[in-house]
Chains A and B, each alone.
Chain A
């Protein structure tokens, strides 16, 4: 990760993302350096200058060229691409929703221009998403009006919020603190300020907070 957050324990979603990104960065960077380097070398070496002549050729020479070289090239690039694609498939658990027991399900509704969070007991919070430390949380995301994009930068998770459709994401926060939740899909004039806070507390703190909540009948958009 280029800008690492000062986390004590890396959340699993961040771990998956950074590991995968490293593969792409290293191989992509190497490819860029090799190809651009080779091109630059060719240009410098073959620049027009007194005494430089071009070897004779037939006009049709380039038509098919070196097709064996092309096959070799396709094999090399193909295997690199297949390798990174395989790594993506392996990392698909970042987006696949796990199903262990003891998960916290929270309903998220985006509306112009705020997020609201509905807990299993029916309580809806219009300010913060409060979650316990080290527990898998599954969000069930939808929108009340236009398309929004739910994004927690610190956890490297995101999903679109679309009206009439329920999309899920999961995360496991491993560091207590307050983090930003952003909207990442242009949703109108208030888009830039459609910010909420993710509050991660220890299980004890969270339970103390949760049991004091005013209990309402489960809302429709809830878990």
Chain B
């Protein structure tokens, strides 16, 4: 294969993956921008239907976009901009610079990093091909409120494809966050104590913590939704609590997601402000404490402020309102600390600094309007109006995008070795800033205009503001062409930049530390031109194949309405199977070298790298199962006539199967104990016993399902009791199946003598995973069989 192509498709290098993320996110940002420009054209002027009692009643027909296209455009604009543009742009910069900042040679798990990228990219592609399906793409808003998003009200394969794309995204984020946390915890360079970690890396760490527990909630909600749409389970459609259930699961993800988008930009401001003002960052530790407080616990405590108008009680409204207003205190401290950094300074007003100042400026407005929205009384009027749209664009576009663009300009000399065109960048800021405010400030005056309407009554106060806003949108969009032009300028004729043009003091600018990353090829401080031989040990074709397989199988699942959907699904699974075998083969034959961990520090001295990763992964899985068991209890509380225990499921058989699974937990533990004493044969024996017990558990489960489905007519689409049973037990069975695959790998590796008394991390991780699978069953069994 062409070496250039192979490099970009098979790369596992953090810098390459970072550049891929940046390029990919800009592509999706372009699509998202086009979608919303269509929307703004549609909203520029109202179109009246003639002669309805003298008023200008909105016209349904003479519009630029019809209702269906408009709804799809606003929905996909939201999804793409938040999940495929803003976050990935930050993740791209983090991929590139976080390892450099902390002196790691790469991310802890390079192939998992590449896997995350391809899952993300293919997820985005799958979500956008929904446009071309009959019936179009998902059109219920990016929040996908239930039951509008169920197949009864949004039929067709298009929405299913979009949700499948979101599942890939959530998976990508989960593996990516485990990876970055692991890197910061275990792969820091010599002397890189927690105190010395630069601010951007700190803020990325907090971003990851905001992702870690929120995305599993989204994943759980999407799995339930896809299952409703494809298999016909009835979580959201047939239950009275379905709409609130979705609201809770979605916003438990959705609110921390706001900070996921915002915090990387704050990290860049915290890097750039000191460098360009010649002063140390004021109140550095207090900023970190405040950010920590925002992420855990505050960001996970405020989701219900998106639901003030649903049927929650007044006291809940009051509690969530207070929690929400509390979150503005740490942001207040952070913002003023940024400003304090500017006192007694000498400010160089070059592009990175100007964009950062713009970001803080716009964040102040976005933050203060956020205080308005924390009031559950003002929210009665503001909820779902353009006031909300204005507020969150000031935060997400104003604060986040301006900050990220500042980061791009700041790091372009580092990434390319060349300098951007300063004057063009200055004009980029001026036009962006003016365009931005002309676009979004009028929205605060539209606080009585509902969002997501494609045609509206002609009211003087609405007409002017909508027209001004549309003009601003085009100015703002046109300004971004200057960014693209600047990148092309850098590429074609950019002047060579000194290695540290800004006089920054953080480690990523020190050429020596840069060089430590993947050998001499990077010594020039650039990867775009570098094609070092050192890189070849780090190519792996497995991540892209695995992601391709996941993509194909999810497309097949979404197209199950067609007769060939199942075939595509099975093809995807086959590709996945091959990719996983290939991945394990690379490990067994040591074709792929992972970077050695350099130092480990408190509190992780005693915990090996992989086991820490397993713990982090399992903590996300706890959230997935917690959300799904919570969903079960919630909709059960809304459902009368639940089957009496023992009437559907055979309790003695279930109990026997529980004992089988718990025994396998014991044998897995004995396998670990054997290898700790160095007894390889015993370990293989106990692992094989675990394998047999696990397979027996699945077999009995299969027999139970066969009996329930065919003899008792207890199916997943016949009742809510059936839906919850098959879904929850099925998800557990999927975990057991993964455990069996892991065991097959462990047994094969053990037969090759891969585990010894000293090196048996794999067995330990498996034992941990298997214990988790057992514990989940201890919750599932009584909830479904006994209660």
Which of the segments A99-107, A176-184, A205-213 contacts the partner chain?
A176-184
Residues of B within 8 A of A16 (CB): 377
Give Cα A176 to B348, complex, Å. 61
B358-374 CB contacts (< 8 Å) to partner A: 360-361, 364-365, 368-369, 371-372, 374
A217 at the interface (CB under 8 A from B): no
Residue B383, interface by CB 8 Å: yes
Contact with A along B325-336 (1 / 0, CB 8 A): 100110011011
B659 at interface by CB-CB < 8 Å = no
- Distance in angstroms between the alpha carbons of A162 and B244 in the assembled complex: 8
Cβ contacts under 8 Å, B232 to chain A: none
CB proximity of A177 to chain B, nearest CB, Å: 12
- Smallest CB–CB gap between B233 and chain A, Å? 17
Q: Is the CB of B377 within 8 A of A94?
A: yes
- Collect the chain B residues with CB atoms within 8 Å of residue A17's CB: 377-378, 380-381
Complex Cα distance A2/B448, Å?
11
**Interface core residue of A55, A62, A151, A189 (most chain B CB under 10 Å):** A62
Chain B residues with Cβ below 8 Å from A163 are: 147, 240, 242-243
Could you give, for residues 146-177 of chain A, a 1 whenever the CB lies within 8 Å of some chain B CB and a 0 otherwise?
Answer: 11010101001111101111110000000000
**Beta-carbon contacts of A35-60 to B below 8 Å, as 1s and 0s?**
11011001100111000111101111
A57 to B244, CA, bound (A): 55
Evaluate whether A193 and B240 lie within 8 angstroms (CB atoms) in the complex, with A88-B377, A147-B148, A156-B380 already known.
Answer: no
| Interface SS of chain A | mixed
B602 contacts partner chain A, Cβ-Cβ < 8 Å = no
Q: Is B608 at the interface (CB under 8 A from chain A)?
A: no
B377 touching A95, Cβ below 8 Å = yes
B748 at the A interface (CB under 8 A): no
Within the complex, the shortest CB–CB distance from B346 to chain A, in Å, comes to 5
Chain A 84-142 interface residues, beta-carbon cutoff 8 Å to B: 84-85, 88-89, 91-92, 94-96, 112
- CB-CB < 8 A to A38: which residues of B? 339
Give chain B nearest CB distance to A152 CB in angstroms.
10
Which residue of B337, B368, B505 is within 8 Å of A32 (Cβ)? Answer: B368
| Chain-A contact segment, one of B452-460, B490-498, B534-542, B735-743 | B452-460
Chain A 7-41 residues near chain B, CB threshold 8 A: 16-17, 20-21, 24, 28, 31-32, 35-36, 38-39
Docked-complex contact A55 and B344, CB < 8 angstroms: yes
Contact among A21, A63, A167, A195 for B285, CB-based, below 8 A: A63
| Pairwise interchain contact B378-A88, C-beta atoms closer than 8 A | yes
Residue B141 interfacial (CB < 8 Å) = yes
- In the complex, are the beta carbons of A193 and B58 less than 8 A apart? yes
Q: Given the complex, which residues of A lie within 8 Å of B139, measured CB to CB? A: 188-189
Q: Knowing A46-B277, A92-B314, A191-B452, say if A146 contacts B148 (CB, 8 Å).
A: yes
Instruction: Give residues 561-594 of B contacting A (CB, 8 Å).
Output: none
The answer on a CB contact under 8 Å between A63 and B333 is no
Q: Cβ of B284 < 8 Å from any Cβ of A?
A: yes
Residues in B whose Cβ lies below 8 Å from that of A112: 153
In the complex, per-residue mask of A70-90: 1 if CB is within 8 Å of any chain B CB, else 0: 100110011001001100110
Query: A84–B375 contact, CB under 8 A?
Result: yes
Which stretch, B109-117, B315-323, B405-413, touches the partner chain A?
B315-323
Q: Is B140 an interface residue (CB 8 A)?
A: yes
Q: Which of A66, A81, A157, A180 contacts B329 (CB 8 A)?
A: A81
With both chains docked as a complex, state the minimum distance between the C-beta of B282 and any C-beta of chain A, in angstroms. Answer: 5
* Partner among B147, B281, B345 whose Cβ is within 8 Å of the Cβ of A54: B345
Tell me the complex Cα distance, A191–B457, Å.
13
Q: Is the CB of B329 within 8 A of A78?
A: yes
**Which chain B residues lie closer than 8 Å to A53 at the CB level?**
346
A36 touches B384 (CB 8 A): no
- Inter-chain contact A146/B380, CB cutoff 8 Å: no
Q: Considering the chains assembled together, what is the distance between the CA atoms of A32 and B378 in angstroms?
A: 19
- Taking residues whose C-beta sits less than 8 angstroms from the other chain, chain B's interface range is 35 or more
Inter-chain CA distance A101–B454, complex, in Å, is 42
CB <8 Å contact, A70 and B333: yes
Report the interface size for chain A: residues with CB under 8 A from the other chain: 81
Q: CB distance B461 to A28 under 8 Å? A: no
Contact with A along B370-401 (1 / 0, CB 8 A): 01101111101101110000000000000000
Assembly CA distance A92 to B343 (angstroms): 42
Chain B residues, CB < 8 A from A95: 314, 317, 376-377, 380
CB pair A193–B455 under 8 Å, yes or no, is yes
* Bound complex: CA A52 to CA B344 (Å): 10
Does A158 lie within 8 Å of B309, measured CB to CB?
yes
How far, in Å, is A155 (CB) from chain B's closest CB? 10
Looking across the interface, which residue of chain B has its beta carbon closest to that of A151? B450
Which partner residue on chain B sits nearest A88 by CB separation? B375
B282 proximity list for chain A (CB < 8 A) = 62, 65
The residues of A that contact B368 with a CB separation of less than 8 Å are 28, 31-32
Using A160-B309, A191-B71 as known contacts, say yes or no to A65 and B361 having CB atoms under 8 A apart. Answer: no
Q: Name the distance in Å between A137's Cβ and chain B's nearest Cβ.
A: 16
Tell me which residues across on chain B come within 8 A of A48, comparing CB atoms: 346-349
A7 to B231, CA, bound (A): 54
Q: Measured between C-beta atoms, what is the minimum distance from B166 to chain A in Å?
A: 18
Contact between B329 and A85, CB atoms less than 8 A apart: no
Whether B286 contacts A77 by the Cβ 8 Å rule is: no
Residues in B340-359 with C-beta less than 8 Å from chain A = 340-349, 357
The answer to whether A167 and B310 have CB atoms under 8 Å apart is yes
> Which residues of chain A are near B278, meaning CB under 8 Å?
54
The answer to whether A43 and B347 touch across the interface, beta carbons within 8 angstroms, is: yes
The answer to whether A160 touches B310 (Cβ under 8 A) is yes
CB < 8 Å: which of B146, B328, B342, B380 contacts A46? Answer: B342
**Contact in complex: A191, B343 (CB < 8 Å):** no
Q: How far is the CB of A183 from chain B (nearest CB, A)?
A: 7
Residues of chain B lying within 8 A (CB to CB) of residue A35: 335-336, 339, 364
Q: Which residue of A lies closest to B239 (CB)?
A: A164
Asked, given contacts A20-B377, A54-B344, A95-B317, whether A61 binds B280 with beta carbons under 8 Å apart, the answer is yes
Interface residues of A in 186-214 (CB under 8 A from B): 186-193, 195
Q: Chain A: which residue is nearest B444 at the CB level?
A: A2
Which residue from chain A places its CB closest to the CB of B280 in the assembled complex? Answer: A62
- Kindly list chain B residues whose C-beta atoms are within 8 Å of the C-beta of A195: 57-58
Query: Given A46-B347, A84-B371, list of 9 further CB < 8 A pairs?
Result: A57-B279, A77-B332, A88-B377, A88-B378, A149-B383, A167-B311, A186-B71, A186-B145, A192-B454
B: residues with CB less than 8 A from A are 57-58, 60, 67-68, 71, 139-141, 145-148, 153, 239-244, 274, 277-286, 309-311, 314, 317-318, 321-322, 325, 328-329, 332-333, 335-337, 339-349, 357, 360-361, 364-365, 368-369, 371-372, 374-378, 380-381, 383-385, 445, 447-448, 450, 452-457, 461, 505, 638
Residues of chain A touching chain B, judged by Cβ–Cβ distance below 8 Å, are 2-3, 16-17, 20-21, 24, 28, 31-32, 35-36, 38-39, 42-43, 46-48, 52-55, 57-67, 70, 73-74, 77-78, 81, 84-85, 88-89, 91-92, 94-96, 112, 145-147, 149, 151, 153, 156-160, 162-167, 180, 182-193, 195
A-B contact pairs, 13 of them (CB 8 A): A35-B339, A46-B343, A46-B346, A59-B280, A85-B322, A92-B317, A95-B314, A145-B147, A145-B153, A149-B309, A165-B240, A183-B450, A189-B68
CB-CB nearest 7 A-B residue pairs: A164-B240, A62-B280, A192-B453, A65-B283, A189-B67, A146-B148, A54-B278
